[in-house]
């Protein structure tokens, strides 16, 4: 008999965090669009406001309007390049949203999903997580296809994740053997016809690993859904900022910044993102990746139990908690 002796004080406790009913993302703009002024920001937020009325949000959250807790957020795309700092971008976004009758509760920077996490907790455990992206990659459990024989390297080795079986690769073959016939890719659990998707999660570059836009968007969705923990504690929490005293660089800006006001919690049971139609392929990849992320079962159970106590219908699968509105050009 093997006896293990431990102390309860040494056991990590999984912290529960406040949850809104709905986290509403008010669009997404590339940094270059903010630099060259090619987008009329008040008009852009005006189109979004049409789809984010309180009655619509309450319906999406599956709760009466009188009970609705909804927070709004914007993700700033500063990962590829950041010629403008928060001291310029944040006031522009706040003013443009206000012109459309919208209030921004939280502003996050995309680079924060890939930047090193603070604290020794991020480096603890059998698989150290240097960043939020590393943390989520460690949670991926790839969906194996029927008949999978291990001939394709796992996502942790090659940086690619798919939802089925790829077409056989051509190339050199054994002498006197017939060439391999072409076969179509096959989606796992396809509904009548396959919609096969192969997503690049990361690639190695001279300066180190470069995370893909769809994968960082997956990290962003998991943050909004409140599903990420490090040693039982939230992987990232909002930090209050003063809009009149903003840093000049994004590295000095919090990963998630909370603007002054009486905002509902940043994390929520469900998310809604109102986006330009060009982001549909990215969000398709996000939904596929979310379906292959195995979050901490204690966190998952906590969320479902709390939703039950509040009489909030909540799907068990993460992709089913994510909603989108795609706007035309």
Mean pLDDT within 122-126: 47
Count Cβ atoms below 10 Å from residue 226 Cβ, excluding itself: 24
DSSP code at position 320? G
Residue 177 tokens, joined: 């053997």
Look at residue 203 in the predicted model and tell me its pLDDT. 92
> Beta partners for 233?
230
Alpha helices in 138-180 (DSSP H): 155-158
| Phi, psi for residue 209 in degrees, rounded to 5 | -70, 135
Pairing type for strands 20-26 and 268-276 reads parallel
Q: Which of 167-171, 184-188, 217-221 has the lowest mean pLDDT?
A: 167-171
Three-state DSSP class for residue 107: strand
Residue 194: pLDDT band by 50, 70, 90 thresholds? confident
| pLDDT at residue 40 is higher than 70 | yes
Where are any strands of DSSP class E within the chain?
20-26, 70-76, 106-109, 160-162, 164-165, 186-187, 198-200, 202-205, 208-211, 229-230, 233-234, 239-240, 256-258, 268-276, 322-327
Where does the pLDDT of residue 107 fall: very low under 50, low under 70, confident under 90, or very high at 90 and above?
Answer: very high
Q: What predicted TM-score, i.e. pTM, was given to this entire model?
A: 0.89
> What is the rounded CA–CA span in Å between residue 139 and residue 133?
10
Residue 3 has pLDDT above 80, yes or no: no
Residue 276 near residue 28 (C-beta atoms within 8 A): yes
Q: How many CB atoms lie within 10 A of CB 6?
A: 7
- Average pLDDT in the chain: 88
Contact 73, 266 (CB under 8 A): yes
Angle, helices 213-224 vs 280-290, to 10°: value is 60
Q: Is the pLDDT of residue 98 over 80?
A: yes
How confident is the model over 165-183, as a mean pLDDT? 68
> In the 3-class helix/strand/coil scheme, how is 15-45 assigned residue by residue?
CCCCCEEEEEEECCCEHHHHHHCCCCHHHHH
- pLDDT tier at 128, thresholds 50, 70, 90: low
pLDDT tens digits, 290-319: 999 999 999 999 999 999 999 999 999 999
pLDDT of residue 8: 46
Return the number of other C-beta atoms located less than 10 Å from residue 310's C-beta: 14
- Does residue 242 surpass a pLDDT of 80? yes
Beta-carbon contacts of residue 292 (< 8 Å; ≥ 6 apart): 140, 141, 142, 143, 161
Beta bridge partners of 23: 71, 271
């Amino acid at each position: 008999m093997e006896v293990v002796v431990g102390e309860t004080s040494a056991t990590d406790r999984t912290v529960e965090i406040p949850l809104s009913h709905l986290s509403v993302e008010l669009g997404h703009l590339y940094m270059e669009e903010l630099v060259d002024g090619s987008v009329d920001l008040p008009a852009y937020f005006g189109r979004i406001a049409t789809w984010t009325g309180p009655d619509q949000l309450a319906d999406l959250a599956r709760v009466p309007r009188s009970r609705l807790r909804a927070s709004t957020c914007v993700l700033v795309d500063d990962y590829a390049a950041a010629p403008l700092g928060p001291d310029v971008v944040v006031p522009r976004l706040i003013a443009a949203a206000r012109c459309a009758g919208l209030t921004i509760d939280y502003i996050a920077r995309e680079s924060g999903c890939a930047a090193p996490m603070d604290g020794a907790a991020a480096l603890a455990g059998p698989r150290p997580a240097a960043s939020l992206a590393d943390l989520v990659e460690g949670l991926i459990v790839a969906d194996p296809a029927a008949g999978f024989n291990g001939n394709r390297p796992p996502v942790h080795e090659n940086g690619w994740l798919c939802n089925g079986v790829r077409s056989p690769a051509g190339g050199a073959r054994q002498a006197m053997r017939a060439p391999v016939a072409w076969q179509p890719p096959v989606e796992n659990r396809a509904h009548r016809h396959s919609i096969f998707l192969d997503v690049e999660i990361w690639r190695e570059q001279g300066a180190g690993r470069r995370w893909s836009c769809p994968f960082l968007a997956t990290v962003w969705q998991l943050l909004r859904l409140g599903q990420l923990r490090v040693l039982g504690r939230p992987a990232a929490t909002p930090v209050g900022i003063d809009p009149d005293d903003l840093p000049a660089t994004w590295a000095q800006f919090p990963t998630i910044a909370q603007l002054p006001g009486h905002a509902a919690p940043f994390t929520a049971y469900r998310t809604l993102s109102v986006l330009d139609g060009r982001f549909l392929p990215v969000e398709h990849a996000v939904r596929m990746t979310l379906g292959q992320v195995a979050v901490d079962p204690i966190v998952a159970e906590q969320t479902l139990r709390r939703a039950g106590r509040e009489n909030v219908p909540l799907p068990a699968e993460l992709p089913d908690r994510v909603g989108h509105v795609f706007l035309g050009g």
